[in-house]
Chain A
Amino acid sequence: MNRYEARFTALRQAGRKAFIPFTILGFPDRARCLRGIEALLAGGAAALELGIAFSDPLADGAVIQQATHEVLAAGFRVRDALALVRDIRALDANLPIGLLVYHNIVAARGPERFFDDVKAAGADGVLIADLPPETAAEVAEAAKAAEVAPIFMVSPLTGEDRLRQIGALAEGFLYVVSRLGITGSDTNFDEQLRATLARTRRLSRLPLCVGFGVSTPEAARQMIALGADGVVTGSRIIEIIREAGDNFPTAVQSFCAAMQRAVDEPAAQAV
């Protein structure tokens, strides 16, 4: 059983849901990134989603773009990101760790070497933001050969045929985007998202975690009420790290704890 299965099974048995914080590896620098992640774990994060900076992050909004740009400008390389993942793994042996990358980062190393390096660093899954199932077969196979879960996104416009295609390749969990567009703070919870979750649930056994615009405990509660197994929050965490100055570990930990509490509250109370 991989760490995703173990963690989601344990949560389900306890009647709990997953809060999955996201940040960019190396932001704002190596040491503070690690301290921020320690704070997220102290706040009770169920899993982590970590971005490897890419020069052209076209699925990302302004907040993550800016963080990415700063990380690259500081000379933080892919090997530095993977070394940092190794240190994060050392903090917790059972925590599911997913990486979020763009295809050119994988292609530059070659899929086999990339996934071997990811596995050696201790990560459990990789989501390639610009790799749809149509073109993912070879890469997904390389990931599975290295025992890394290929994670895929599902959008409100993903139809049933493509959901089946995604279901045939995906492991770990499905990242359901709450709305069209890019990462960032605009929240959406509507009947269409409820329908997306229901449709996806019918066609896949994987846990469904909602991301894009899940920036407050209230939004997190709503997503759970709509049928999600967990939520992913990224841009808001990067904003908190920026805004809180030297106090950022405390701020990050209390945000994470509030989000985890929100997703764990019974859905009935939320609506």
Chain B
Amino acid sequence: MQSLGYFGPFGGVYAPETLMPALEELEAAFLAAQMDSTFQDDLQRLSAEFSGRPTPLFHAQNLSRELGVEVYCKREDLLHGGAHKTNNALGQALLAKRMGKLRLIAETGAGQHGVATAMAGALLGLSVEVYMGEVDMARQQPNVFRMQLLGAKVHPVKTGGRTLKDAINAALRDWMTNVRTTHYVLGTAAGPHPFPTMVKYFQRIIGDEARAQILKKLNQLPSKVVACVGGGSNAIGIFTAFLDDADVELIGVEPGGQGLDTAAHGAVLARGTVGTLHGMRSYVLQDEDGQIHETHSISAGLDYPSVGPEHAYLKSIGRVRYESATDEEAIAAFHRLSRCEGIIPALEPAHAIAYVLRMAQTWPRGTVVLLNLCGRGDKDLQTVLEYTR
């Protein structure tokens, strides 16, 4: 490979021998595509005409008035498909097409990445099969139906905790078996190199747009940029544009589940230790033997026992601060944004909103906060209804 994709001591390639040629082939195709004007033109045209980029930056004035800080939302919830996942799925599907692959596979937690991959597959004429934990299929039923409508086959994963971690294992196994014809569209900025770097490449448009939009609007940068972190693709997507702006505080919000003092959470950077899972070195929730723990979050998209390696690195150098919000706080934030601004957020970014709601009173009046509203909440109505009961 050209590079092993380390971020400090994190990342790398920890994959079985049968996957190595696929990773080499993918890295080479990714590097070539960056220089290929046809690929870039196709990506830009479809990002605009199919996905709906650029997404707006919305000044949440009602919430801002109530909190005494200025909250700006990057509206990835308005992207086609209903979440930021389309950026990455479209990019990787175009790449797969360029590589001559006929079939896409994907893992999905909340279902948004599965839907995005199914959309991209339908658009580009590639067959799509999606691995989804049984538990997640039950709690994100509407997305299962959407994937099927788009022509994708959804495979229930019945091993382990039957959530995102197990779906990734199943997708990797499929890829190892069918590597010649198949591209694995990994949905988050995690996994073996080149995935973390490639997913960031396709997601950084979020921050690039948001930075330009807020500069145009306010003629200043935000004081804080806040995003939820599961695997971390929406967060790395919005943070990347601001990494060199030393005065901009970057905050990632992890799923606190039922509380960090319980076993039922997914706050990997807060409570995890360094380990190897899914082809990368990063933080993981594990026991002293290195066995990976099951996690819990009300939001299927954040229910993952590791995190993208660049987040592990950004934590280690102190550039990003990682906080958490509990299920209860996320549900409260879900309701608050719905009533206050007329926007039903996904439960994933509801964690980022919850953090802002909790902290705003400690920040100076007028603090400018940029929040990545990375998905819409239609998929979560059932979960929220059941939680309220």
Name A's B-contacting residues (CB within 8 A).
54-59, 61, 65, 69, 72, 77-78, 102-109, 129-132, 134-135, 152-155, 157-159, 162, 177, 180-182
Asked whether A180 and B176 contact (CB < 8 A) given A55-B291, A105-B289, the answer is yes
What chain B residues lie within 8 Å of A157 (beta carbons)? 18, 20-22, 179
What chain A residues lie within 8 Å of B15 (beta carbons)? 130, 132
Asked whether A162 and B290 contact (CB < 8 A) given A56-B277, A130-B14, A132-B13, the answer is no
Extra A-B contacts (20), CB below 8 Å, given A56-B292, A134-B4: A54-B290, A58-B16, A59-B16, A59-B18, A59-B176, A69-B159, A104-B292, A107-B274, A107-B290, A129-B16, A132-B13, A132-B17, A135-B14, A157-B18, A157-B22, A157-B179, A158-B17, A158-B21, A159-B21, A180-B176
What chain B residues lie within 8 Å of A129 (beta carbons)? 16
What chain A residues lie within 8 Å of B284 (beta carbons)? 104
B44 at the interface (CB under 8 A from A): no
Closest beta carbon of chain B to A204's beta carbon, Å: 14
What is the CA–CA distance of A65 and B173 in the complex, to the nearest angstrom?
Answer: 12
A182 touches B17 (CB 8 A): no
Residue of A nearest to B292 (CB): A55
Residue of B nearest to A158 (CB): B17
Within 8 A of A (CB), among B276-299: 276-279, 281, 284, 286, 288-292
A72 touches B291 (CB 8 A): yes
A77 touches B289 (CB 8 A): yes
Residue of B nearest to A183 (CB): B173
B1 at the interface (CB under 8 A from A): yes
User: What band does the interface of chain B fall in when counting residues whose beta carbon is under 8 Å from A?
Assistant: 35 or more
Q: List 24 A-B contacts (CB under 8 A).
A: A55-B160, A55-B291, A56-B165, A65-B159, A69-B159, A77-B289, A103-B14, A104-B284, A104-B292, A105-B289, A107-B274, A107-B276, A130-B15, A131-B14, A135-B12, A135-B14, A155-B18, A157-B22, A158-B17, A159-B21, A180-B177, A181-B18, A181-B176, A181-B178
What chain B residues lie within 8 Å of A54 (beta carbons)? 290-291
A154 touches B17 (CB 8 A): yes
Asked whether A162 and B14 contact (CB < 8 A) given A56-B169, A103-B276, A108-B290, the answer is no
B172 touches A134 (CB 8 A): no
A105 touches B290 (CB 8 A): yes
Give the residue of A57, A106, A152 whose beta carbon is less than 8 angstroms from that of B17: A152
Closest beta carbon of chain A to B118's beta carbon, Å: 24
A58 touches B169 (CB 8 A): yes
Residue of B nearest to A81 (CB): B289
What is the CA–CA distance of A159 and B172 in the complex, to the nearest angstrom?
Answer: 21
B173 touches A107 (CB 8 A): no
A132 touches B20 (CB 8 A): yes
What is the CA–CA distance of A106 and B160 in the complex, to the nearest angstrom?
Answer: 21
What is the CA–CA distance of A57 and B173 in the complex, to the nearest angstrom?
Answer: 10
What chain A residues lie within 8 Å of B173 (beta carbons)? 58-59, 61, 181-182
Interface mask (B168-183 → A, CB under 8 Å = 1, otherwise 0) = 0100110011111000
What chain A residues lie within 8 Å of B278 (beta carbons)? 56, 58
Closest beta carbon of chain A to B135's beta carbon, Å: 16
What chain B residues lie within 8 Å of A153 (beta carbons)? 16-18
Closest beta carbon of chain A to B167's beta carbon, Å: 12
Closest beta carbon of chain A to B298's beta carbon, Å: 23
Residue of A nearest to B287 (CB): A108
Give the residue of A65, A78, A103, A158 whose beta carbon is less than 8 angstroms from that of B289: A78
Residue of B nearest to A61 (CB): B173
Closest beta carbon of chain A to B177's beta carbon, Å: 3
What is the CA–CA distance of A156 and B17 in the complex, to the nearest angstrom?
Answer: 10
Name B's A-contacting residues (CB within 8 A).
1, 4, 12-18, 20-22, 159-160, 165, 169, 172-173, 176-180, 274-279, 281, 284, 286, 288-292
What is the CA–CA distance of A10 and B49 in the complex, to the nearest angstrom?
Answer: 69
What is the CA–CA distance of A108 and B275 in the complex, to the nearest angstrom?
Answer: 7
Closest beta carbon of chain A to B312's beta carbon, Å: 14
Give the residue of B1, B274, B290, B292 whose beta carbon is less than 8 angstroms from that of A134: B1
Asked whether A134 and B13 contact (CB < 8 A) given A72-B291, A177-B18, the answer is yes
What chain A residues lie within 8 Å of B1 (beta carbons)? 134
Residue of A nearest to B18 (CB): A155
What chain B residues lie within 8 Å of A159 (beta carbons)? 21
What is the CA–CA distance of A131 and B291 in the complex, to the nearest angstrom?
Answer: 17
What is the CA–CA distance of A109 and B292 in the complex, to the nearest angstrom?
Answer: 14
What is the CA–CA distance of A259 and B214 in the complex, to the nearest angstrom?
Answer: 70
What chain A residues lie within 8 Å of B16 (beta carbons)? 58-59, 129-130, 132, 153
Residue of B nearest to A176 (CB): B17
Give the residue of A58, A103, A158 whose beta carbon is less than 8 angstroms from that of B172: A58
What chain B residues lie within 8 Å of A181 (beta carbons)? 18, 173, 176-178
What is the CA–CA distance of A109 and B180 in the complex, to the nearest angstrom?
Answer: 36
- Ranked nearest first, the 9 interchain pairs of A and B with the lowest CB-CB distance are A108-B290, A181-B177, A157-B21, A104-B290, A153-B17, A104-B276, A103-B276, A55-B291, A59-B16
B288 touches A158 (CB 8 A): no
What chain A residues lie within 8 Å of B4 (beta carbons)? 134-135
Closest beta carbon of chain B to A63's beta carbon, Å: 12
Closest beta carbon of chain A to B241's beta carbon, Å: 30
A182 touches B177 (CB 8 A): yes
What is the CA–CA distance of A54 and B278 in the complex, to the nearest angstrom?
Answer: 13
B289 touches A108 (CB 8 A): yes
What chain A residues lie within 8 Å of B12 (beta carbons)? 135
What chain B residues lie within 8 Å of A69 (beta carbons)? 159-160
What is the CA–CA distance of A57 and B176 in the complex, to the nearest angstrom?
Answer: 13
What is the CA–CA distance of A109 and B288 in the complex, to the nearest angstrom?
Answer: 8
B288 touches A108 (CB 8 A): yes
What is the CA–CA distance of A194 and B159 in the complex, to the nearest angstrom?
Answer: 35
Closest beta carbon of chain A to B254's beta carbon, Å: 20
What is the CA–CA distance of A220 and B172 in the complex, to the nearest angstrom?
Answer: 27
Interface centre among A129, A135, A177, by most chain B C-beta atoms within 10 angstroms, is A135
What is the CA–CA distance of A55 and B274 in the complex, to the nearest angstrom?
Answer: 16
